[in-house]
Amino acid sequence: MLDKIGIKILQNLQAEGRLTNAELAHRVNLSPAACLERVRRLQDEGYIQGYTALLNANALNAGLLAYIEVEMERYTPAQSEPFRKLMLDIPEVMECHLVTGPFDYLIKARVRDMLAYREFLDRVFSTLKGVRRTNSYVVMEELKSSTRIPFSYLSAPAR
């Protein structure tokens, strides 16, 4: 169970993953040893899954962002297993979610440009069995993109 200090640690690390333990300890008013122990406990309990750097997709020639709705012929876990395994192996697929509604999966993909997107769609979906239909939505402008999870739903104050 998270307490106020645990929440403060998570908020600080989510905002600045490269904080030193000494700086984090100062911000949450703990000794460095106690802070390090709390961070380790948060990792062991699964609150912290890992650390990563946020990269600039445009600078890395992956500026086209698209969302793809995928409707399966007939959704069953067994019939969808090849699709699920394939999604895990495709580097352009950043996210893939099983969703409720008129389609089964929602995919977030990044590629270089529209030509690369067309090649991506042909490579992935032209031979994939069990897919009835796909709908694509190419992002024209990213107004907001965040990896931060909101803390507003927790009972402890978010600072």
pLDDT digits (tens, 9 = 90+) for 56-101: 999 999 999 999 999 999 888 888 899 999 999 999 999 999 999 9
Please check the confidence at residue 156 and state whether its pLDDT lies above 80: no
- Output phi, psi for 14, to 5 deg: -65, -35
Contacts of residue 94, defined as CB under 8 A and 6 or more positions apart, other chains included, come to: 108, 109, 110
Mean pLDDT of 112-137: 94
Give 141's pLDDT tier (boundaries 50, 70, 90): very high
Structure confidence at residue 1 (pLDDT): 76
Considering all CA atoms of the chain, what is the largest pairwise distance in Å, rounded to the nearest integer? 57
pLDDT at position 59: 97
What strands, in cross-sheet order, belong to the sheet with 64-72? 93-98, 105-111, 64-72, 131-138
Q: How confident is the model at residue 152 (pLDDT cuts 50, 70, 90)?
A: confident
Q: What's the whole-model pTM score?
A: 0.86
Beta carbons within 8 Å of 140's beta carbon, 6+ residues apart: none
Q: To the nearest whole number, what is the mean pLDDT of the chain?
A: 93
pLDDT (mean) for 134-156: 89
Domains and CATH numbers, the chain: 4-44 (1.10.10.10), 64-138 (3.30.70.920)
pLDDT of residue 158: 45
pLDDT score for 79: 82
* pLDDT for the residue numbered 26: 98
**Which two tokens mark 91?**
């580097």
